[in-house]
Amino acid sequence: MSRRTLSWSAVLGMAALLALPALAAANSQDLEAAEAGKLAESVGINSMWVVVAAVLVIFMQAGFAFLEIGFSRGKNVGTVVAKILTNFSIAAICFWAVGFAIAFGVHDAFGIDGLWGTDGFFLTDYFGHPSPDPGVIPPDGGQAAFPVMGLSDATVEAKFLFQFAFCAVSLAIVWGTTLERIKFGVYIIYAIVFASLIYPLAAGWVFGGGFLQTGDWLGTGIAGMQDFAGSTAVHLIGATGALAVLLLLGPRRGKYGPDGKPRAIPGHSMPIFGLGVIILLIGWFGFNPGSTLGALDGRFTEVAAVTLLAAAAGVIFAVITAAWKTKTIDIGMAGNGMIGALVAITAPSGYVELWAAPIIGAVAGIIVPLGVYAIDKYIDDPVGALTAHGLCGVWGTLACGLFTAPRLAQYNAFGNPDGGLFYSGSFAQLIAQAAGILIVFTFVFSMSYGTFWLIKKVYGLRVSDEEEEAGLDITEHGMYGYPEQFIPAPELIGYATSPGSRDVPAPQVTPKEVTT
Scan residues 128-167 and list those touching its own copies (CB under 8 A): 128, 130, 154-155, 157-158, 160-161, 164
Alpha carbon distance 132, 193 (integer Å): 30
Among positions 4, 5, 254, 460, the unique one binding its own copies when judged by CB under 8 A: 254
Single out the segment in contact with its own copies by CB under 8 A; choices: 109-117, 404-412, 429-437, 443-451: 404-412
Alpha carbon distance 229, 207 (integer Å): 8
Single out the segment in contact with its own copies by CB under 8 A; choices: 46-54, 138-146, 225-233, 453-461: 46-54
Residue 107 within binding range of its own copies, rule CB under 8 A: no
- Show contacts with its own copies in window 68-87 (CB under 8 A): 69-71, 73-75, 77-82, 84-86
Alpha carbon distance 218, 432 (integer Å): 12
Output the smallest distance, CB 395 to its own copies, in A.
17
- Show contacts with its own copies in window 158-217 (CB under 8 A): 158, 160-161, 164, 184
Task: Mark residues 15-34: x for contact with its own copies by CB under 8 A, - for none.
Answer: --x--xx-xx--xx-xx--x
Alpha carbon distance 438, 361 (integer Å): 22
Q: 366 and 317 in contact (C-beta within 8 Å)?
A: yes
Helix, strand or coil, per DSSP, at residue 168: helix
Residue closer to its own copies, measured from CB, 144 or 360: 360
Residue closer to its own copies, measured from CB, 77 or 435: 77
Helix or strand run (H / E) with residue 27: none
- Show contacts with its own copies in window 479-498 (CB under 8 A): 479-487, 490-491, 493-498
Among positions 93, 174, 245, 364, the unique one binding its own copies when judged by CB under 8 A: 93
Q: 279 and 63 in contact (C-beta within 8 Å)?
A: yes
HSE, CB side, 13 Å, CA atoms: give it for residue 84: 21
Residue 316 within binding range of its own copies, rule CB under 8 A: yes
DSSP state of 289: G
Q: 381 and 375 in contact (C-beta within 8 Å)?
A: yes
Query: How many other C-beta atoms lie within 10 A of the C-beta of residue 318?
Result: 32
**281 closest CA partner among 498, 67, 500, 503:** 67
Residue 57 within binding range of its own copies, rule CB under 8 A: no
Residue closer to its own copies, measured from CB, 402 or 447: 402
Residue closer to its own copies, measured from CB, 345 or 447: 345
Helix, strand or coil, per DSSP, at residue 35: coil
Single out the segment in contact with its own copies by CB under 8 A; choices: 42-50, 235-243, 429-437, 441-449: 42-50
Among positions 4, 151, 297, 378, the unique one binding its own copies when judged by CB under 8 A: 297
Residue 308 within binding range of its own copies, rule CB under 8 A: yes
Residue closer to its own copies, measured from CB, 79 or 433: 79
Q: Whole-angstrom distance between the N-terminal and C-terminal Cα of the chain?
A: 62
Alpha carbon distance 105, 98 (integer Å): 10
Q: What is the DSSP string of 135-190?
A: TTS-TT--S-S-TTT------HHHHHHHHHHHHHHHHHHHHHTTTTTB-HHHHHHH
Output the smallest distance, CB 267 to its own copies, in A.
5
Burial class of residue 2 in the structure, from the number of CB atoms within 10 Å of its CB (0-12 exposed, 13-18 middle, 19+ buried)? exposed
Residue 62 within binding range of its own copies, rule CB under 8 A: yes
DSSP state of 37: -
Residue 454 within binding range of its own copies, rule CB under 8 A: no
Task: Mark residues 332-371: x for contact with its own copies by CB under 8 A, - for none.
Answer: xxxx--x--------------xxxx-xx--x------x--
Single out the segment in contact with its own copies by CB under 8 A; choices: 47-55, 109-117, 221-229, 392-400: 47-55
Residue 421 within binding range of its own copies, rule CB under 8 A: no
Q: 215 and 223 in contact (C-beta within 8 Å)?
A: yes
